[in-house]
Amino acid sequence: MTTHHFHLQAHWPDGRNGSGTISSGQLQTRVSIPPEMNGPGIGTNPDEMLLGAAATCYIITLAAMLERSNIEKTDLHMNSEGIVDVTNGVFTYKKIIHRPTLTLSSTATERDRERAKKLAIKAESSCMISKALKGNVDIELELTLL
């Protein structure tokens, strides 16, 4: 069995409406509470980082699955949306919606297109971040295949 360890250093010298910093490998940024939650909006925030982790894990997983299946793409880009519910002052990350647009090569067959659709769905359940969120945050997929 192989394990990988990831480390993050955080520093928060201020109060609730202040800001801090995080550092982890190539990620080095300021953080604060987002303006949507009555914070100062300095740097990034946990909500954006959770969405970013889910989105990058999904798109990398899908790209790898397409490559392993020898399905040639000419482009893959995605918009993702995170939905946070606020009920009685309690913030709950409810849902993430990934909206990938996958463009296959002009030589793609109908079989390639069907396999690509299946892989797009499978990538969401195969991504380790999606697995970590399962049962807590709903993740939806709205694929556009060109």
Query: Averaged over 69-78, what is the pLDDT?
Result: 96
CB 40 within 8 A of CB 17: yes
Task: Looking at the structure, tell me whether residues 83 and 125 fall in a common domain.
Answer: yes
Task: Looking at the structure, tell me whether residues 68 and 140 fall in a common domain.
Answer: yes
Q: In this predicted model, what pLDDT tens digit does every residue of 103-141 receive, in sequence order?
A: 999 999 999 999 999 999 999 999 999 999 999 999 999
Q: In this predicted model, what pLDDT tens digit does every residue of 21-53 receive, in sequence order?
A: 999 999 999 999 999 889 999 999 999 999 999
Chain centroid offset of residue 42 CA: 21
Q: Which token pair is 141?
A: 């997929």
CB-count exposure of residue 68 (10 Å: 0-12, 13-18, 19+): exposed
Which residue range is the domain that position 53 belongs to? Answer: 46-145
pLDDT above 70 coverage of the chain, percent: 100
Question: For the chain, what is the mean pLDDT?
Answer: 95
Task: Looking at the structure, tell me whether residues 85 and 118 fall in a common domain.
Answer: yes
Task: Looking at the structure, tell me whether residues 72 and 95 fall in a common domain.
Answer: yes
CA distance 92 to 74: 37
Residue 89 has pLDDT above 90, yes or no: no
- Residue 6 pLDDT grade (very low, low, confident, very high; cuts 50, 70, 90): very high
Task: Looking at the structure, tell me whether residues 25 and 68 fall in a common domain.
Answer: no
Instruction: Give me the number of domains the chain comprises.
Output: 2
Task: State pTM to two decimals.
Answer: 0.91
Task: Looking at the structure, tell me whether residues 35 and 87 fall in a common domain.
Answer: no
CB 1 within 8 A of CB 9: no
Task: Looking at the structure, tell me whether residues 63 and 126 fall in a common domain.
Answer: yes
Identify the CATH number of the domain in which residue 80 sits: 3.30.300.20
Task: Looking at the structure, tell me whether residues 85 and 130 fall in a common domain.
Answer: yes
Q: What is the pLDDT of residue 4?
A: 93
Residue 143 has pLDDT above 90, yes or no: yes
Task: Looking at the structure, tell me whether residues 40 and 52 fall in a common domain.
Answer: no
Residue 82 has pLDDT above 90, yes or no: yes
Task: Looking at the structure, tell me whether residues 73 and 133 fall in a common domain.
Answer: yes
Q: Which of 62, 57, 63, 81 is nearest to 132 (CA)?
A: 57
Q: In this predicted model, what pLDDT tens digit does every residue of 92-101 receive, in sequence order?
A: 999 999 999 9
Q: Last residue of a domain, which of 9, 27, 44?
A: 44
Task: Looking at the structure, tell me whether residues 52 and 81 fall in a common domain.
Answer: yes
Task: Looking at the structure, tell me whether residues 90 and 68 fall in a common domain.
Answer: yes
Q: Which of 103, 81, 105, 79 is nearest to 94 (CA)?
A: 81
| DSSP, res 14 | S
